[in-house]
Structure 1
Amino acid sequence: MDTTGTLDEALQRLHGSGPERLGRLTNHAPMAVEALAARGQARAVHPWLDLYARKLEEFPSGVEPVTAANWRLALGDPRRAADWIAFFGREIAERPWRDVLAQWWPRLLPGMYGGSTHPVIRVGHAVRTLLNGESTGPRLTELAHGLGYWAARHRPVTDIALLPGADSATDALDAVPPIAAREGGFPARLAHVRRLPEWAAAVTEPDVAHRRLTELVRAATHRYATHGHGEETMLVHAATAPNAVLRTLPALPHALWVPSLHAAWTASAAVTAMYAPDAPVAYTPPGTLIPEEVVERALAHGDEHVIKLTDTALDVGDERALAAALRAIDLSEPLR
């Protein structure tokens, strides 16, 4: 992890910005700079932010303080983002961050689909930093921003009919039925997700949940190498959302691992249902490129989703995962 102080500087720079822009598009900068710092690219963090800065908006105004008595009324209200971030800022200032996370994780987990799964991804990046380094002020504030964004964009998925499952995550993702309605953005498409395979439904043991979640992240990352053209940006989340959950598990009580797997599977499968292409393309191996070279290529490209998928691909750590990162570079528009 970054020991230069650059990540903390970048997070402080970003905490004056809101979690979204244009009323619906996510601010990816906190996640991307954490990924760059984690992959040895701290020197590139501020230059990358200079390019991304045009996509930032000022921090929103508050409406009414969120409290322990009224939080249910504010849950899932995007107008209350500033109120929620302030609430979690107070909570984390008063209690250990792991305690706050353990209390709120099961409350927020059913709604991880709001904000196109970006809130849980932002939390996963924040938790990784806290687990691997010092609990500095900017890093704790970043967790408050991530949790607050999640609470504001909380959106549950209900009434999903379970279809016969498959033995492996790869086969289960292949078995996900695509939705018929392919117009509109993430919220509109999510409303049409009604049937998903029951791949993770029978898991009851925490250790099994951890193994299955690891398998899911690997399968979804590998799948991008041949299916990413279905929607080069949105299909990234089929891998990065469950990986955010996987990164958070070490900070959570074991009792929360199984429901975390169930929610992560539903999210990954739902994204697959919404954006899967009609047919895959042939797999292209990454050749002789090593992980550090793939990171350099992702940084040169600059797109925030490319950076985050590359970060997840390095967690997976095999040839097919590197091929997925390179595929994202080929498919995506670079940051200019």
Structure 2
Amino acid sequence: MDTTSGTLDEALLRLHTSGPEFKGGLSNHGPMAVEAMVRNGQARTVHRWLDTYANRLEGVPSARTRITDANWREALGDSGRVTDWTAYFTDQLAERPWRELLAEWWTRLLPGIAGAATHPVIRVGHAVHSLLTVGEDAARTAEFAHALGYWAARHLLLPAAVHPTGSATPAEALAALPRIADQRVTPEKGYAQLPGTPGWLSTTESLHVPDDPEAVRAGLTALVRAATLNYADHGHGNGIMLVHAATAPNAVLRTLPALPRELWASSFAVAWAAASAITAIYAADTPRPAPDAASAAPEEVFERAVAHGNEHAIKFADTALGVAAASEDGDTRALSAALNALALIAEDD
């Protein structure tokens, strides 16, 4: 009997007794990591991993004032209202289908993808993926409300509007990105450097974003691949933070099937802007060889990530396995990127 969905639900319900952040702004990765672990055949390790991880977490923040259809704009981006936002989306899901709610709120939340180092959109991507692949139930729908609430509370615009209108592929645009002057910064302080970084905006706008939805899906898939392989060479700039250049667009890619197709092109453009920003802030300027993965099977790489224990390593391995599965035979660079994350990220980070 398949009990993996039950394991996921039990883990999500445990995690919903904790807030979305801890220690003054670190993101609670638990819901994202356990979804990846269950989906990649590591359900048996979920509760043991969570027993350790949950020791870091803090309680759910106190509610403040009820959010309504009339006053939500004033609460957007207010991290102190995260519990109010979760309650709002929970109420909404009691009245309407989750896909309908997603379609309405995606256009409102997407411009704020940069908030909390893109963790909210990543959490939404994992929540949507489980709803699409495992199905709807109370725990997974509740996680969707928590994920949307976190994004609404941490909504943050990049300091420069990005409108990609060029002809470059994701790999070409990513390779041409400059780096900010001071990379030893928080994401917010890094974002602030982007407008003054010569060539960042023009390079970011050089990407080609097609109109055809299927071409958009292919382009977004290529972006996830390019960002994953870029980590193999440049992840030593910041082993933890650079993973989000791949995991954030991958979250958008996984959400596409649940969105109206007319929203796909804008989703690609915004996902690219986020990946570009994180790369410019945290990627090393010069490449360094990644570990050889020629003899490693994908399931072994993911098992090693779970044994390593770090939540970022687990999430990045999940993305890398998806890239590897879509790669041509013999191409192990995505798995090398995942092994690089294990080498770069300390267990206690």
TM-score of the alignment, normalized to the shorter chain, above 0.5:
yes
Letter of the 1:298 counterpart: A
Say whether 1:329 aligns with 2:342: yes
Any unmatched runs of 5+ in structure 1? none
Say whether 1:32 aligns with 2:33: yes
Contact 1:166–1:172 (Cα < 8 Å) also in 2: no
Rounded to whole Å, the distance in 2 between the matches of 1:201 and 1:156 is 22
Say whether 1:67 aligns with 2:68: yes
Say whether 1:170 aligns with 2:177: no
Contact 1:294–1:325 (Cα < 8 Å) also in 2: yes
Say whether 1:205 aligns with 2:212: yes
Contact 1:51–1:335 (Cα < 8 Å) also in 2: no
Q: Aligned residue for 1:152?
A: 153
Instruction: Decide whether aligned partners of structure 1 residues 335 and 37 sit closer, same or farther in structure 2, where only a CA change above 3 A counts.
Output: farther
Out of 251, 261, 270, the position equivalent to 2:258 is: 251
Contact 1:160–1:193 (Cα < 8 Å) also in 2: no
Contact 2:194–2:277 (Cα < 8 Å) also in 1: yes
The alpha carbon displacement at 1:134 in A equals: 2.1
Q: Aligned residue for 2:144?
A: 143
Instruction: Decide whether aligned partners of structure 1 residues 333 and 199 sit closer, same or farther in structure 2, where only a CA change above 3 A counts.
Output: same
Letter of the 2:152 counterpart: A
Instruction: Decide whether aligned partners of structure 1 residues 146 and 2 sit closer, same or farther in structure 2, where only a CA change above 3 A counts.
Output: farther
Any unmatched runs of 5+ in structure 2? none
Instruction: Decide whether aligned partners of structure 1 residues 176 and 162 sit closer, same or farther in structure 2, where only a CA change above 3 A counts.
Output: farther
Say whether 1:312 aligns with 2:294: no
Rounded to whole Å, the distance in 2 between the matches of 1:24 and 1:283 is 31
Matches within 5 A, 1:89-168: 89-160=90-161, 167-168=168-169
Contact 2:167–2:208 (Cα < 8 Å) also in 1: no
Letter of the 1:204 counterpart: D
Q: Aligned residue for 1:293?
A: 300
127-136 or 183-192, larger mean C-alpha shift:
183-192
The alpha carbon displacement at 1:171 in A equals: 1.7
Once the two structures are aligned, what percentage of the paired residues are identical?
54
Matches within 5 A, 1:38-53: 38-53=39-54
Letter of the 2:302 counterpart: V
Contact 1:200–1:261 (Cα < 8 Å) also in 2: no
Instruction: Decide whether aligned partners of structure 1 residues 264 and 164 sit closer, same or farther in structure 2, where only a CA change above 3 A counts.
Output: closer
Report the aligned-residue RMSD.
1.7
159-168 or 23-32, larger mean C-alpha shift:
159-168
Contact 1:2–1:38 (Cα < 8 Å) also in 2: no
Out of 212, 226, 230, the position equivalent to 1:223 is: 230
